[in-house]
Structure 1
Amino acid sequence: MVNRKVLDPESSPEAAYGARVRRLREARAWSQEDLAAHTAYSSKHVSAVETARKPPTLPFSRALDLAFGTAGTADSFEREWRELRHGALLEGFPEYVEHEGRAVELRLFDTGIVPGLLQTSEYARCLADSKARRGAMTPDQADDLVAFLAERQATLVRHRPPTMLVVMDESCIRRQVGGPRTMGAQLDHLLEFAERPNTVLQIAPFEIGEQRALYLPTNLLTMPNMTVVAYAESQIRGYLERDSAAVFPLLTAYHQLQAEALPQSATVDMIREVRKGYP
């Protein structure tokens, strides 16, 4: 076939996705124009996805599932798209998010940046775009990361929202992310978060020094059956821990951290003071 591009499924997840589209299309003796007619997308779009020049989207994946009869199966294109979409996430994090959406209580600790669930969209966008500029992810993955965070935040808006206990290192409010307006809006959002009836917000000030019981970002989730799972991250991977022998020491450390952190009223005062430095 003239101008037929050789595909290398091993080169990237997008290439593997495109190669599979071509394989199923050709197994049915369909041209790209035929598949385009079955999906309501252009043949140019089909070609771009097959050759990994354009990343697949959720609507396109669902259209492929209808065309190929793979909807709702373990081999669906929607499922492959979701796995591909999570490619920029740390190992273990997608599994954690599944638990996060069902938890009745969340205990969060972070240092350096505001925890994701408390970030404004502008603050989250600045962080994602920075990763894309450094080459840590593609621009499309940065877009997906911001959208994924919005989905996580939306799952916590329920008739009976979970209790959220958050301790942030003081660096989270001292380090400017984005421009002054972005940071000012983020601090306003933290003040609003502290006013909610189901939340407690505390800052671990620099002055507690070695009394800070946790040094890495740590999340503790209480599930509907009252079991507690923990999630912690290093620079390169995350890990979901269910074993109570490992979780309970983290829970103890979190309680110790809360005892040393500022109470919520003093936390709010500190955030308001920092807020004065932004427009």
Structure 2
Amino acid sequence: MEDTLVNRKQLNPEAGPEAAYGARLRSVRERRGWKQDELAAEIGYSGRHISAVETARKPPTRQFSTAVDVVLKLDGTAESFVREWGEIRHGVLLEGFPEYLHQEARATEVRLFEVGVIPGVLQTREYASAIESNSVRCGAITADQAAERVQALVERQAALERHNPPMIFAVPDESCIRRPIGSATAMEAQLDHLVAFAELPHTVLQIAPYEMGERRSFNRSVNLLTLPDRAVVSYVESETQGHLDRELASVVPLVRTYHRLQAEALSQAASVEMIHQARKGTS
């Protein structure tokens, strides 16, 4: 497919990040004297796909952006399309979270607490998609942004499945396994996934039961990372904002509170049994 002068669509890079990406892709391609089909042949996509990305009808992906960078010799440069793709993806994430993801990918230990929903790195694609679909229905994000969030989660999970993965300690509140998300089938699969997670050699899963009452230490999402140099950082999230903290004065109390939470939570065996009982309730 070639963009002839007759049907050539005028691009508006101000229309949004994906429109800006597409307009720049067209500009760089044309400076090289390449037609859409010629670039497509080089990167393993169709001319129709190139056209859809340039006109913002189809969002770019990491794979696509990497292929463009390699062919156009932009890998690692300020003009990298992978860099721009990352900025687009991070644009749908809370403030502070992109930096957290960078640190999480290199952490040696990850500690998680969550209320109401399964922690992100433990979510199945179907469970995560159900959450994001509701955000689309509420008008909070677009369908494309929902897809980007789910893809970002999948990539985040993959980063934690590396060689020599970090120890992951997860202490979700009981509400996380009791609250139905998506279809009954999706929720069953999610609970099965938690049980499988608990069986891994580098994981610990403990449920903070309702009976803890006021002794439950946290009332919002808390993530703690131990980095290769043994430094610890925290990430605390509200509905609208995330905050990454490296200051010992505020991080150390969170670490101590997390240890108390673990001491009072159910054992892993008791937690798995509770998950099995919750799964029966979804059938």
Aligned counterparts, 1:232-243, within 5 A? 232-243=236-247
Structure-2 change in CA distance of 1:201 and 1:32 (3 Å): closer
Aligned with 2:139: secondary structure? coil
Kindly provide the amino acid, as one letter, of the partner of residue 93 in structure 1: F
Counting aligned pairs with the same residue, the percent is 57
Higher deviation after alignment, 86-95 or 51-60: 51-60
- Aligned equivalent of 1:187: 191
The alignment status of 1:248 with 2:252, answered yes or no, reads yes
Q: Which residue of 1 aligns with 2:139?
A: 135
Aligned length: 279
Q: What does the per-residue CA deviation read over 1:202-255, in whole Å, with 9 as the maximum and x for residues that have no partner?
A: 222222222221111000011121111111111112121111112112112212
Displacement, 1:79? 1.5
Distance 1:71 1:162, change over 3 A: closer
The answer to whether structure 1 residue 49 and structure 2 residue 59 are counterparts is no
CA distances 1:82-118 after superposition (whole Å, capped 9, x unpaired)? 2212222212212111211221111100000011111
Structure 2, unaligned runs of 5 or more: none
Q: Deviations over 1:149-182 (max 9, x none)?
A: 2222223334433222211111101100112222
Partner of residue 76 from structure 2, selected from 72, 83, 91: 72
2:213 aligns with 209
Q: Classify 1:190/1:32 alpha carbon distance in 2 versus 1 (closer, same or farther; 3 Å).
A: closer
1:91-106 correspondence to structure 2 within 5 Å: 91-106=95-110
Distance 1:194 1:26, change over 3 A: closer
Question: 1:8 matched to which residue of 2?
Answer: 12
> How high is the TM-score relative to the length of structure 1?
0.88
Describe how 1:210-229 pairs up with structure 2 within 5 A.
Answer: 210-229=214-233
Closer, same or farther in 2 for the Cα pair 1:273/1:39, shift >3 Å? closer
Which structure 1 residue ranges, 5 or more long, are not aligned? Answer: none
Distance 1:251 1:223 in 2: 14
- Select the residue among 158, 173, 197 that pairs with 1:154: 158
Shift of 1:127: 1.9
Shift of the 43–184 alpha-carbon distance from structure 1 to 2, 3 Å rule, reads closer
- State the shift of 1:131 in Å: 2.5
RMSD: 2.4
Distance in 1, matches of 2:52 and 2:203, equals 47
Question: Is 2:70 the counterpart of 1:62?
Answer: no
- C-alpha contact (below 8 Å) 2:89/2:152 kept by paired residues: no
Report the CA distance shift for 1:231/1:20 in structure 2 as closer, same or farther (over 3 A). same
Task: Measure how far apart 1:69 and its partner are.
Answer: 3.2
Instruction: Give the letter for the 2:133 counterpart.
Output: D
- Could you say if the C-alpha distance between residues 231 and 177 of structure 1 is closer, same or farther in structure 2, counting changes exceeding 3 Å? same
- SS of 2:14's partner is coil
The answer to whether structure 1 residue 107 and structure 2 residue 107 are counterparts is no
- Hey, what does 2:22 align to over in structure 1? 18
Cα deviation, 1:42-93, whole Å, max 9, x if unaligned, reads: 5444333222222223343234334543233121112211221222221221
- The answer for the alignment partner of 1:145 in structure 2 is 149
